Structure 1
Amino acid sequence: MRSPLLRTLVADVRAGKPDAEEAFWRYAAVTGTPLVEPDPEGDPDHRLVTFVRREDPAHPATHVLALVHTVTDKDRHAGDLAPHLMQRVDGTGVWAISHRLRADHRASYQFHATDGTREDALRADRASWLRVLDHAEPDPLNDRAPLPSRDGRNPASVLELPEAPPQSRIRRRDDVDRGRTLGTEVDGRSVTVHLPPGHRPDGGPYALAVLLDGEMWGPVLGVGDILDNLHADGDLPPTVAVLVDTMGRRMQDLACSAPFVDWLADTLLPWAEREYGAGADAARTVVAGQSAGGLTAAFAAFRRPDRFGLALSQSGSFWWPDDERGSEWLTGQYAWAERRPVTLHLEVGLQEWMLLQENRRLRNVLRARGYDVRYREFNGGHDYACWRGGLADGLAALLGEG
């Protein structure tokens, strides 16, 4: 047991100290969880992070998994969830597990408690994992705003260590002017539009941000608040955002699909120009996406630079397609084709073991070919807890200059 706080609890319980466990929980409630302590190895760039869960006497658990986004996923992909089983502290209702993490780590996390066998708790096949995600719960003692979810799943708690990059624009603020959010359809596809404060149809031309996976960014994550904050802070010119629903068609639309990108360029953008005065200037039009959406954002700039002069890719799936055609197809296209007049902003998490090297290789190719490319790595994973701050920073970097 590496945590000094837990070792003190164990010692107090063994010594019969009255109220030892209640004192521990009072401390956790005041400080918030997870518990963050100095690195036991003395490295100032790391912390010991201990996740704790209080046993529910009405529903006692036999096993509890701590699901730390991407950290746990890596072992799940390897078929071994055992390192993520929490331990019950003897003589208490405290479940705990500690991780040594770099001091700039950010991640969403949840707990999954079961009352079955250890074998059942550790099943790592896809069907079992999806059931875990369907029932996992947030940490009730975490005092940060939870990360919302969709499809009936519970929200997640968020771990932010002291040196994690600030995310000052993600919270709804009462002191900013509000834009308007509208739901509509374009050519049979659902889209959400967020208009900047004071928007007038004849007041353009406006900059345009096309966000893929709109059903996540709109009703779940409330990206309108991020955009309103950017406008209020002067970090973004008046910008119309069009959020395109793609989560039900990811494999068709977000795998370097020429028909989809052409639909964006030839149907969606002319519509946005007619209705809202945005999207006429490729140099002020950004397409943004995450994961397969990040791949598609970079592909859109490659295929249709006449409409998309800016691309924001977060954790882009640049390994694609990884079949008989080979892998990293889009990187090869950027390497050998005529250079496009586009600017790309790429970011990827240091914990994304399946994407980090692929994103670095694309960055290297873009730089070698003379592209204007902005690149950063954050200490996190494939996680909206990281992406929402990165989206704000990327939009400001691409559209906010000049």
Structure 2
Amino acid sequence: MTRLTAAEKQWLQTVNQHTFTPPPPPQLEAAQVKALIESEIADGKSLEILWGISINETQEAGTRALQLIYPAQSTDERMIFVLDTVTHMHKHDMTPLILQQIEVEGTPAHAAVFQVPSDIVSTAGMIRTSQSELDAITDRGQWRELFSRTEPLSARGQDLPSHVRTSVITAESSVLELLPPADSAPDLSSTSFTLPDLAEPVQVALYTPEAPEHLVIALDGDQHLSNGLLNSLEETPFSATTAVLFLWAEGPFDRAKLFAERDLFAALLQQHVLPWAQSLTVLPDATHRIIAGGSLGGLAAAELCRYYPHIARCATVQSASWWWNNLSNDITEGTLLVEWKKADTTPLDINLFVEVGAYEGYLLSWNRAFRKVLQEQGITHTYREYSGGHDYACWSRGIVDSLHYFTQK
């Protein structure tokens, strides 16, 4: 495709109009929070035991209360509650997500009680900052640096293990899940490949049981290693039958180039990655290979499955960036989605597991439009909207769920 028609532009504008910003989780007033804490102290609990987060039932159906209490280190210090996607989308006004400053038994503290949906899955954490630092942030790079300092939450009254890097609020239980670091994963074979088009080598790691029946190619594999994909697999029968090929690019610019240029990406897999993996184990054929990616990786997974089905006929497409533009002569968002919408006389023998978070705002409408295109084209797929956002904690779980879907076929 070299140019969009007027009708195609109008359709894309319609898709792009439907967006929203998820509201921040409501929190109790400072006086109510202080009263709750003082009530627990009156029942014999020490303030030190209350430090951290507790997840409690509420009187409102379908919700839970997150109670956070942390010691304050200075009067200028601010503590931000990070509920991944929601916090990032409210970065220009953090006020609703800043813990309140109170004093309990003469001790200054940061405290808040947030109400969240009981089925939400989200990476969660905290950022210690100051009001002066927040006021001075003016660009994306500064926001990225701030969020890079996110610390995992500690469960109430417990010391945070030094090796833990990520904490997740899950729908499965009322306790905080602390994810182990990537270096605690089972033995992995790893290598890297240098491409002339990229500044840094592409990293690859392979986990494989004996004689795998399925292969998952997990894009942004370093994130899935950190978010416990292999731990989740161990809790299912798939751990004995599924190989996982973790692949990631170093740096945002290499990632964008690799995932946005399907021919470059396909060449990497065909000429380098898959032959290397084949030297270590017998890989299943393309009908039993699943390429999985989120965001721009979701776009890459769908594109590879459509245009290179001999590599993988199944794709887990998560929160895909369908706004992406691949034309140099037109700035309209969504040009790749138009290519999918165009009628094709050859039926596509592929199968897609498509999901997007209910709190993603901008991407929700794009992925709903993609679902409609799949329906119009008669492409085999399933679609769901999960209680979460643009978050690897959600996507790692989604990959496991997609295995259930693909193996039922």
Under TM normalisation by the shorter chain, which class is it?
A: 0.7 to 0.9
Distance 2:153 2:180 in 1: 20
Q: CA deviation at 1:305?
A: 1.4
Distance 2:81 2:318 in 1: 25
1:354 is aligned with what amino acid?
A: Y
Match of residue 175 from structure 1: none
1:311 matched to 2:333? no
1:157 matched to 2:152? no
1:7 matched to 2:26? no
Q: CA deviation at 1:36?
A: 3.1
Q: Cα–Cα, structure 1 residues 162 and 214, in superposed 2: closer, same or farther, change >3 Å?
A: closer
Q: Cα–Cα, structure 1 residues 112 and 215, in superposed 2: closer, same or farther, change >3 Å?
A: closer
1:381 matched to 2:398? no
Q: CA deviation at 1:129?
A: 1.5
Distance 2:32 2:337 in 1: 50
Distance 1:367 1:148 in 2: 48
Which one of 353, 357, 361 corresponds to residue 349 of structure 1? 357
SS in 2 for 1:382: coil
Distance 1:319 1:246 in 2: 21
Determine if contact 2:49/2:157 at 8 Å carries over to the other structure. Answer: no
Distance 2:361 2:291 in 1: 25
Distance 2:302 2:159 in 1: 32
Q: CA deviation at 1:291?
A: 1.2
Cα offsets for 1:288-333 (capped at 9, x unmatched)? 1111111100010111012210001122112112872522233222
CA RMSD in angstroms comes to 3.8
Distance 1:22 1:99 in 2: 24
SS in 2 for 1:135: coil
Distance 1:131 1:316 in 2: 24
Match of residue 113 from structure 1: 128
Q: Cα–Cα, structure 1 residues 69 and 35, in superposed 2: closer, same or farther, change >3 Å?
A: same
Q: CA deviation at 1:361?
A: 0.8
Q: Cα–Cα, structure 1 residues 393 and 327, in superposed 2: closer, same or farther, change >3 Å?
A: same
Task: Give the TM-score normalised by the residue count of structure 2.
Answer: 0.76
Which one of 136, 148, 153 corresponds to residue 134 of structure 1? 148
Match of residue 137 from structure 2: 123
Match of residue 195 from structure 1: 208
Q: CA deviation at 1:37?
A: 4.4
Which of structure 1's runs of 4+ aligned residues deviate more than 6 A?
143-149
Of all paired residues, the percent bearing the same amino acid is 24
Match of residue 71 from structure 2: 54
Q: CA deviation at 1:239?
A: 2.7
Q: Cα–Cα, structure 1 residues 210 and 247, in superposed 2: closer, same or farther, change >3 Å?
A: same
Distance 2:279 2:204 in 1: 15
Q: CA deviation at 1:107?
A: 1.5
After TM superposition, list the pairs within 5 Å mapping 1:185-334 onto structure 2.
185-186=192-193, 189-196=202-209, 199=210, 203=211, 206-218=213-225, 220-230=226-236, 233=237, 235=238, 238-248=241-251, 249-279=254-284, 281-321=285-325, 324-334=330-340
Determine if contact 1:3/1:37 at 8 Å carries over to the other structure. Answer: no
Task: Give the TM-score normalised by the residue count of structure 1.
Answer: 0.77
Determine if contact 1:256/1:295 at 8 Å carries over to the other structure. Answer: no
1:36 is aligned with what amino acid?
A: N
Q: CA deviation at 1:345?
A: 0.5
1:23 matched to 2:30? no
Distance 1:322 1:254 in 2: 12
Distance 2:158 2:72 in 1: 21
SS in 1 for 2:260: coil
2:32 is aligned with what amino acid?
A: R
After TM superposition, list the pairs within 5 Å mapping 1:70-109 onto structure 2.
70-76=85-91, 79-91=92-104, 92-109=107-124
1:101 is aligned with what amino acid?
A: V
Cα offsets for 1:64-99 (capped at 9, x unmatched)? 2222211111111xx222222221124553322343
Q: CA deviation at 1:358?
A: 0.7
Distance 1:116 1:3 in 2: 21
SS in 1 for 2:332: coil
SS in 2 for 1:352: coil
Distance 1:99 1:124 in 2: 27
Moved more, 307-316 or 321-330: 321-330
Q: CA deviation at 1:54?
A: 2.6
Distance 2:58 2:168 in 1: 19
Cα offsets for 1:328-352 (capped at 9, x unmatched)? 2332222114242100001111111
Distance 1:4 1:267 in 2: 57
1:73 is aligned with what amino acid?
A: H
Determine if contact 1:331/1:362 at 8 Å carries over to the other structure. Answer: yes
Q: Cα–Cα, structure 1 residues 148 and 182, in superposed 2: closer, same or farther, change >3 Å?
A: farther
SS in 2 for 1:96: strand
Distance 2:315 2:268 in 1: 17
Q: Cα–Cα, structure 1 residues 325 and 18, in superposed 2: closer, same or farther, change >3 Å?
A: closer
Determine if contact 2:219/2:293 at 8 Å carries over to the other structure. Answer: yes
SS in 2 for 1:272: helix
Q: CA deviation at 1:142?
A: 5.3
